[in-house]
Structure 1
Amino acid sequence: MTVTDVPDGAAANEPNGSGRDLRIDERTGAVLTEHAAWNEEHRHLAEEALSALRESGALRLLVPDRVGGDELTFADMVANVREAALYDGAAAWVLMVLVGHSWMLGSMTEELQDEVYGVDPDTIVPGSLAPVGAATECDGGWLIDGRWPFTSGAVWGNWFLLGSQVPAPGERPRLLHVVIPREDIEIDDNWYAIGLRGTGSCDVVANQAFVPTHRLIDSGDLLGGRSPWSSRHRTSVYRTPILPGLAVHVAATALGLARAGLDDAADRFGVQDDRYMGSPKSRRPGLHMRLAEANTEVRSAELLIEDTIGLLRQAADGTDSKQLRAHAKYQGSYAIELCRRALDRVTTAAGGRAAFDGSRLQQAFRDVTMASQHQVADLDTVGEAYGRTRLGMDPGAHPL
């Protein structure tokens, strides 16, 4: 039995109680597979791959209903991103980012939502959430300057969601998240990385970009769940805590990649011979144990994601707390680490041929390794916060 044969219960604890709506079918998957090598070579998604995601309806999973989106659930997001990762990690990552940003824009002003999605609910909104830009107040809004790294899908962006801060010498800066149109953004094509090569996660630059007030939100209101706009939707999904929610988004990609990589490893182990021993690799007890442990790690990650979705639903429905957020964020982050460990375990035993480009196992290993570097997967900091709550302490200064 391969990992993809294992039944899962991701619908059991999802927000809002609806069933999973799987948009990434075999037809879409075939297009993603066909262009996976092109994506890697050119370092961004092929237009055909992006079009396949658009035509599937997956881009609008968490776009608000009020602007023509589907406003579904985190469980639907996990199912679709996970499925896309079975075909191509880069496409799954870009899908995850775009769905995540449309979800976050649901907490911003209705005027902005109308402006971005009113004409096209499949509008592409890449971005970088780290507050590395500088914001200066001016008449009617703000002037934004800065360079933002890791802007996945940038080449196809119509709008960009970017983190910024208001300089305040000697004081803690005010943090803002702003939305800037493509015409005010420059793209620096500098994405050369060990994994997720096809995501086009290059730097973007803004120089004195004017942002009217309706296109920004105080980061404390956005991340702290205090946005007045998040409650003006037909569901509670936009009241889901942002940072623990983002951990689940990243974990969804890691989960699909781990499934694909382990299936490829099992296929390899089943047909390869040990050239020195003169016997099939499939007879090695060590490989049996590696596959058993790796499969169990991935299944454990799946169950952790499922449980975390339930925690996020509680928070969205009103039972929110720092303790719950620390718990949820840690579980989502730990699920990513479990997927990384599983792929590392089998890649070590897969032999030299698995190291060549074109190996699904090699690509999954690289992609999950890169995904595990995301800020939400920093187990040291989020582990400290969660561990403190287990001792009855405040989680501390770690952003939750």
Structure 2
Amino acid sequence: MAYERAAPPSPAAAVPGALDRLGAALRAAAPALLAYAAVRATGLLVMSVWMAFAEESPRRFLNRRWDSLWYARIAEDGYGYTRFSAGRWHPDEAFFPLFPVLERAVTAVVPVSANGAGLLVGWTAALAAAWGIFAVATLLYRRMVGVVLVALWAAVPPAFVQSMAYTETLFTALAAWALFAVLTGRWWWAGALAVAAGLTRPSGVAVVAAVLVGGAVELLLRRSGAPRRRVLAAMAIAPLGWLGYVGYVSWRRSSPTGYFDVQAEWGNGFDGGVAFLRFVTGMLGTNPAHGLLILAALAALAALLVQCVRQRQPLPLLAYTAVLAVTALVGAGYFTSRPRLLMPAFALLLPLAVWLAGKPRAATAGAVAAAAVSSGVYGTWFLLYEGPP
């Protein structure tokens, strides 16, 4: 699927024309962006009220705990910090560089600390992600589906992370716009955004997979008529961000498996899901209610994946979702982080968004509002009592 290409504008009209198109696209996306802001504001309001009673500071949880501290430290001092905790060494090389680079850039022009810059980057990226998700859904279906999808993504249980100085919103923004570029035949953009996504999170391989699958489909079917060399170039450069950082860590460590050694030092790695299976079975024995909840979540994930296939979502979108789901579930540690790692897989919510968009507006709004409040309650409870997301 791709847009039809009009004749190129004259150089004198190119910039004003581009600005006009950007303004029109922003106006079209405004309902989705407002819905996103309203849902996340609801979650933050719930968090603020609850934490006020608990005599806690929401800001401390949003940008001064867990991963956000690691990113701020890298932004301020670069790589090279290692901490020993819980019987393991934790080197900062586990964290990909784009988010702290952006934090450092913000501190160079705005009088805020690296922690404050993390929130600015994360919240700005959240709006860009919402816009990109809306663009993909509108391309495939219609505007109302795009608005509902954005609202649902803002209200998923781990959505509280979208308000933190974490990389999820930046990664989702890059992934959504890369997918939009693939689906519309903008191959240079697709390749460049895949490079950026690969510099943001280990799961950048999912965006690379989308570009490679989309490029292969384009080369086989010639749907958009894009020049073959442009498609091949996008496919060639897409993995360079991820490979570049993994190669950098290997160079620092003087080992071809340097990055994976770093993950092992954190107690993480890829074991095909064996450790996760042991975690679930162990939970069923020690805390049956929690174990059954995990099984229900896995069943829902499987059902949504099946619905995405039955919905005939484009192959690049399916490839992105499938790779993201696999990388989120086959790791050997940090099991409470799995919902957060799955959150960028926004296409999983498309079947539900299509269904809700066909309901009366009042019913749709009520469902979204209930999800927003529930997300805020869950997120606050998790931060206060469960630990790092």
Name the one with the larger helix percent: 2
Q: Name the structure, 1 or 2, with higher relative contact order (CA <8 Å, separation 6+).
A: 2
Task: Tell me whether the two structures share a fold, i.e. TM-score over 0.5.
Answer: no
TM-score interval, smaller chain: under 0.3
- Structure having the higher strand fraction is 1
* Superposition TM-score, scaled by structure 1 size: 0.27
